[in-house]
């Protein structure tokens, strides 16, 4: 495929707008109908929603493939300036979305560890956790859109590509060798600054984020935990957005794959929150994935005439993730005395 962007925002703004409206409709349906009343999300309910979100992502993947095929058939030059047949170019687009979705979904598991720590630290009851995550995901979608827009502009410069690639490699190496350290939300400098300027109440007031006490608005523990979750997602986005840009240069694919991975994050949290310790080796797999996509940006793409085969990328990433999950289950973490 060419280095230029095929689905440029200026030409396909209507696709972005339609997709964003579809996502907002899903979120409104989620909170306004299925989770209108705060309740504890059961393992069964989380499992059903996890299947629903994955199925929606795969259906979109197929629909996007058909849309690309229709577009490239009408204008074969779009498929790669003659380098690829329309059908092959459409398959490439579909595989790039799928690979990006798998990478983002895998990296999102790290968020679950943070969610567990934050909800425990601030004492958020299970029945209110979905509400906090819902608004956290709306914020995450906004931040990801900003990061993706910035990335699509910056990555037009070759030296930025090498810089991001080196950053991903160093991040992967650090993740691989760094010891596990407990997260202490109370020591986060931005959160401490928030506490300094915003009146807080240590008491929960139902599912409210703000409450008026003695004539002043106070933030409840739900609001404080939401702020910390947003901060943590910004940090995670610094790794995950460049990682997907290493797999495709199409901002539309980066945006849609990110959105679908984030939409399923709440269900995945309630499904895996009680079993995060079972995947103690997964961080090594994620580290290898980051190193691999970093190598794609600084070396592998150029070594393969500008584009490392996306089928190889998908196979390598899936193999690493599945292997580390399997090893985690085969060799469980020893319980501390």
Mean per-residue pLDDT, 223-232: 88
* pLDDT digits 0-9 by tens, 18-66: 999 999 898 888 776 666 677 778 888 888 989 999 999 999 999 999 9
pLDDT over threshold 80, residue 81 = no
Question: What burial class does residue 142 get, using C-beta atoms within 10 Å of its C-beta: 0-12 exposed, 13-18 middle, 19+ buried?
Answer: exposed
Rg (CA), the chain: 21
Is this model's pTM higher than 0.85 or not?
yes
Q: Which pLDDT band, with edges at 50, 70 and 90, does 266 fall under?
A: confident
More confident residue, 211 or 38: 211
* pLDDT digits 0-9 by tens, 294-311: 999 899 888 887 788 899
- What is the C-alpha to C-alpha distance for residues 266 and 304, in angstroms, rounded to an integer? 38
What would the 3-class secondary structure string for 88-127 be?
HHHHHHHHHHHHHHHHHHHHCHHHHHHHHHHHHHCCCCHH
Q: Where are the domains of the chain?
A: 9-330
- What is the C-alpha to C-alpha distance for residues 15 and 245, in angstroms, rounded to an integer? 19
* pLDDT digits 0-9 by tens, 126-177: 889 888 988 888 888 888 899 999 888 888 888 888 999 999 999 999 988 8
CA dihedral 164, 165, 170, 175 (to 10 degrees): 90
């Amino acid at each position: 495929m060419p280095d230029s962007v095929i689905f440029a925002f200026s030409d396909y703004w209507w696709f972005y707008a339609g997709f964003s409206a579809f996502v907002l409709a899903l979120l409104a349906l989620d909170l306004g109908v299925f989770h209108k009343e705060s309740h504890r999300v059961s393992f069964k309910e989380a499992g059903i929603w996890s299947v629903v979100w994955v199925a929606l992502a795969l259906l979109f993947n197929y629909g996007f493939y058909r849309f690309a095929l229709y577009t490239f058939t009408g204008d074969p030059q779009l498929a790669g300036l003659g380098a690829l047949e329309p059908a092959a170019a459409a398959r490439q687009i579909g595989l790039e979305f799928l690979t990006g979705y798998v990478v983002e979904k895998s990296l999102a598991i790290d968020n679950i560890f943070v969610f567990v720590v934050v909800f425990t630290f601030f004492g958020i009851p299970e029945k209110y956790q979905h509400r906090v995550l819902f608004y956290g995901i709306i914020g995450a979608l906004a931040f990801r859109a900003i990061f993706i827009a910035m990335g699509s502009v910056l990555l037009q410069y070759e030296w930025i590509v090498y810089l991001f690639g080196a950053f991903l490699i160093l991040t992967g190496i650090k993740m691989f060798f760094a010891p596990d350290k407990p997260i202490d939300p109370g020591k986060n400098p931005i959160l401490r600054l928030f506490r300094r300027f915003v009146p807080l109440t240590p008491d929960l007031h139902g599912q409210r984020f703000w409450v008026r006490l003695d004539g002043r608005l106070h933030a409840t523990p739900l609001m404080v935990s939401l702020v910390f979750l947003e901060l943590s997602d910004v940090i995670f986005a610094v790794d995950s957005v460049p990682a997907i840009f290493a797999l495709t240069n199409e901002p539309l694919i980066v945006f849609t794959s990110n959105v679908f991975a984030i939409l399923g994050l709440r269900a995945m949290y309630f499904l895996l929150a009680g079993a995060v310790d079972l995947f103690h080796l997964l961080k090594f797999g994620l580290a290898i994935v980051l190193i691999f996509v970093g190598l794609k940006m600084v070396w592998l793409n150029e070594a393969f005439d500008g584009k490392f085969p996306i089928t190889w990328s998908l196979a390598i990433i899936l193999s690493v993730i599945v292997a580390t999950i399997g090893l985690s289950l085969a060799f469980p973490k020893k319980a501390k005395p």
